[in-house]
Amino acid sequence: MFAVPNPKILLFAALGLTLAGCSSEVDPNSPEGKRQAAFKHFLSHSEPMGGMLRERLPFDGEAFAGHAQALADSVEAPWAYFPEPGDTQQKNAALPEVWSDPQGFAQAIDQYRSAVADLVVVTEQGVESPAQVTDAFTAVQQSCKGCHDGFRR
């Protein structure tokens, strides 16, 4: 004999299938996908450095320097993928100030570039202790925060 499934199970199964069909994944080849990937790449290097300086991870000066260099190598990656003014098709978390204050946005990007370059200079001769890199890494973090505060939702 065939048993009728519980209606709640059917409802949850249908809801799950519906949600699976409505995936909000971003096309990795779209400008939004490339921009998001660039920022995730930044995080993949800045988070371990922050973890080392906050003693959540063991400090490894060579690895820290490698992460700093990786940030420098990718410092230009996201900027070309910001939507043009008035582009309502491309999802983004940018505030209108990105376009209404392009000089301010450019200055924030330059501060990030400069902070990352300074961090690399500090690490080039080898890193023996967190004290050698803390100030330079804090400047990188502050440049990120400054851009987020002024130009991101």
Asked if residue 22 belongs to a known ligand binding site, the reply is no
Asked if residue 144 belongs to a known ligand binding site, the reply is yes
Asked if residue 41 belongs to a known ligand binding site, the reply is no
Instruction: Measure the CA–CA gap between 147 and 42, rounded to whole angstroms.
Output: 14
DSSP reduced 3-state for 28: coil
Instruction: Measure the CA–CA gap between 11 and 105, rounded to whole angstroms.
Output: 48
Specify whether the backbone of 55 is left (phi greater than 0), alpha (psi in -120 to 50) or beta: left
Binding residues: 144, 147-148
Binding residues for heme c: 144, 147-148
